[in-house]
Amino acid sequence: MRVMVIVKATKNSEAGLMPSEKLLADMGKYNEELVKAGIMLAGDGLHPSKKGKRIQFKGGKRIVVDGPFAETKELIAGFWMWQVRSMEEALEWARRCPDPMPGEECELELRPVFEAADFGAEFTPELRAQEDRLRAEIERQQK
C-alpha cells in the first residue's frame, strides 16, 4: 500500500526558517534508510504558504487566493510518499523519523493513498486503462 506522510507546518516553517545542518544530515540518513528498505517513493519539503496560492471552487467559479494562509496547524511543510505492506509498517518507520521541527511541537500525519480497487464499479475498465496509460506516460517522462 502507498502511504503519504505529511509533515505539518509550524510557526518556524511558515516563517521560512531553514533546517540546521545537523537536521539536514539526520534527515538525509533517515531518507537513505527508507530508500535502502524500498519504502521511499518520493519526498520533499515545501516553501512557506506565503509563496503559495489556492484555487477555491465556488458555484462554478474559480477564485485564486494568495498565501500566506492563516491556520498554520492545517498547513503542510513537507511530505514523503512511501510503499509499505501495512499502516503498522508505516507507523514503525514514522516513529524512527528525526524530529522535523526541533524546539517546536510538530506532527506527522499518515494517510493511505487510494488504490484502483477502492473505487469499486465506478472505476470502469475504460477509466482504469486511461489511468494505466497516464501512469506509464508519467514514468516515461521521468526517465
Q: Which residues contact 67 (CB under 8 A, 6 or more apart)?
A: 48, 49, 50, 51, 52, 53, 54
pLDDT in tens, 25-51: 999 999 999 999 999 999 999 999 999
Q: What is the pLDDT of residue 50?
A: 97
For the chain, give every domain's residue range.
2-112, 117-143
pLDDT in tens, 72-120: 778 999 999 999 999 999 999 999 999 999 999 999 999 999 998 899 9
Residue with cell 472505476: 123
**What CATH number is given for 2-112 in this structure?**
3.30.70.1060
Q: pTM above 0.75?
A: yes
Torsion of CA 51, 76, 21, 103, to 10 degrees: 120
Residue of 100, 98, 129, 97 lying closest to 116 (CA atoms): 129
pLDDT bracket for residue 64 (50, 70, 90): very high
